[in-house]
Chains A and B, each alone.
Chain A
Amino acid sequence: MTQERTYLGVPLHKPKVAFFELSSCEGCQLQIVNNEATLLDFLSLVEIVNFREAMTERSNDYEIAFVEGSVTRADEITRLTEIRRNAAVLVALGSCACFGGVNQLKNRFHDIAWVKKEVYGKHPVETEAEAKPLEAFVRVDLKIFGCPIKKEEVEKIVTNVALGRPVQHPKFPVCMECKANENICLFDLGEPCLGPVTRAGCDSWCPNSRMGCWGCRGPADDANVEQLRNIAKKHGISAEAMLDRLECFGGFASHVDEIRGKAKAKKTASAAKGGVNPPSSPLGKGRRR
């Protein structure tokens, strides 16, 4: 029997954890396995009972379930509900689980039959009309943002869970980290970037490589999205290009809805005044609701 570990006299909790994936690339789980240098320390904090990517044993006896991926098939709802029933704490792991992620891009197309044909051609698969985040079906206790997640952040979160500390995400945007990393502002390079409105915590991963932020971590607290769109316009970046970014991971869904709603209202108004509608395309028809 091992002696219970403590920190300053407070017992460390070693939870049984399980990893699951719904519709996803499993890249987030790979991030966790990737950290060879710290893997042993990580494993000393948790007891992993289920991790398809790393082990063959399986158990349904777990406290914390890390669920990667979005819900795109009916059977995933059943699975997710069962995981929720087993787990005391359900963690949405990565942008797909938190917001729908890249998968939810299909939500902006009306015609699911067309989508299936475009994507899968002669080999159709069963899929719902929309990809949704876990929260659309079950209660989520904790979200770990990012596409993919940042392993250092997961390590910090797991350490805090073991210590019984609350998990706090940065409330400010990526710009803070980007400046600290001494990057040239992407707007100065003429490129769009969602850094000013996206939640920090990634250590400005993309801008460090001179790639504009795509908002995978969702909005920062009090994100001024409207102002960023004005700024982009002034820098000669099209509204559609910004909208593409805002839509990419689903974190800004409510903002996008609002913008599309406004655009639609404007269009209707201008049409009433005799304005010309742009030719219809499968894109930009508004999110299905």
Chain B
Amino acid sequence: MDNRLPLVDIMEEGTHRRHDDIGSFEYTYKAEIMNIYPMTASEKLYQIQIIEPDRRNRFSFQPGQFVMLEIPGVGEAPFSISSSPIRHGFVELCIRNVGNLTGFLARMQRGAQIGIRGPFGTQFPVGEMEGSDVLLVAGGLGIVPLRSAILTVLENRSRYGSVDIVYGAKTPSELLFTYQYEMWRKFDINLSIIVETPDDEWKGPTGFLTRILEDRVAQAGANFAANTYAIVCGPPVMFKHVCGMLTKAGIPMQKMFVSLERRMHCGRGKCCRCNIGSTYTCLKGPVFDYWSIMNLKEAI
């Protein structure tokens, strides 16, 4: 009798429920850097296109989601998508040069071949927000994930009530997407920009962005909270202040959304590196409503 056990090939084995998932675990779309736009001293906007037309056409995402960007041999890391989901065929990633992967990326040229996986994660509830007033708050690099939501709201401007964008940065030279502010304002959007430390040419307000928010809340009065959705993106320390303030102003926790950042290696709930307490940021996030955040120890 042949007692040798048969070799089970999971890719061929019919019993496995999710062929596509198992096959795609290590599947990285080959992608090309189409354009690179320098934005500040340390940030560039990369326009990235999946090379294979079929894959490119099937790729779609929602605002708030992220992709894993891979440079073979250099590394892989998660990046929020900054472009509008309606603009099919490419993604825009705004990336600061801070480390190994981003440092190498900053030296890559147009036409270079990289890889992307995704999209991963939860989204900003842009559909659910229709019919309501919208308050979008970004501190520093928080504008990067938020821009996708901003563009979505702009493209469907008539579906939303009043739209406020409050954006704060450390210095004027660190402001991102400056070339788009005029265009945003044309869509009947109340865009307020504040910097902590002004330079000689800065004419706008200075201080923390909570200053503008407080004014805005006071100005709107009692009507403010009743029909408003808020999205808050920025450094963890900002969440506590801004979300706390907005909660006091009356915005329900479940109508306030934040986007969190953590270390990630898989994007699939396997490597555990993005765990907050016991919640995977890659699966249950990066977009959480404030109620969930309040229930996550150590989230902010």
Contact = CB atoms under 8 A, between A and B. Distances in A.
Interface of A: 7-10, 163-166, 168
Given A163-B74, A164-B107, A8 B112 contact: yes
Nearest to B110: A9
A9 B36 CA distance: 14
Given A8-B113, A165-B74, A166-B99, 17 more contacts: A7-B73, A8-B72, A8-B108, A8-B112, A9-B108, A9-B111, A9-B112, A10-B108, A10-B109, A163-B104, A164-B103, A164-B104, A164-B107, A165-B103, A165-B104, A166-B100, A168-B100
B39 interface: no
Secondary structure class of chain B's binding surface, majority of residues = loop
Given A163-B104, A164-B104, A166-B99, A9 B73 contact: no
B253 interface: no
Nearest to B104: A165
A166 B74 CA distance: 10
Interface range, B side = 10 to 19
B71 interface: yes
Interface in B85-130: 99-100, 103-104, 107-109, 111-114
A166 B71 contact: no
Contacts of B103: 164-166
Secondary structure class of chain A's binding surface, majority of residues = loop
Contacts of A163: 74, 104
A166 B99 CA distance: 7
A223 to B, nearest CB: 22
A8 B100 contact: no
Contacts of B100: 165-166, 168
25 contacts: A7-B73, A8-B71, A8-B72, A8-B113, A8-B114, A9-B108, A9-B109, A9-B111, A9-B112, A10-B104, A10-B107, A10-B108, A10-B109, A10-B112, A163-B74, A163-B104, A164-B103, A164-B104, A164-B107, A165-B74, A165-B100, A165-B103, A165-B104, A166-B103, A168-B100
B116 to A, nearest CB: 14
Nearest to A160: B100
Nearest to B71: A8
B93 to A, nearest CB: 17
B36 to A, nearest CB: 12
A9 B112 CA distance: 6
A174 B100 CA distance: 23
A45 to B, nearest CB: 14
Nearest to A167: B100
Nearest to A159: B73
B132 to A, nearest CB: 45
Nearest first, the 5 closest Cβ-Cβ pairs linking A and B are: A9-B112, A10-B107, A9-B109, A166-B100, A8-B112
Nearest to B101: A165
Contacts of A164: 103-104, 107
A159 to B, nearest CB: 9
Contacts of A9: 108-109, 111-112
Contacts of A7: 73
A168 B71 CA distance: 17
Contacts of B99: 166
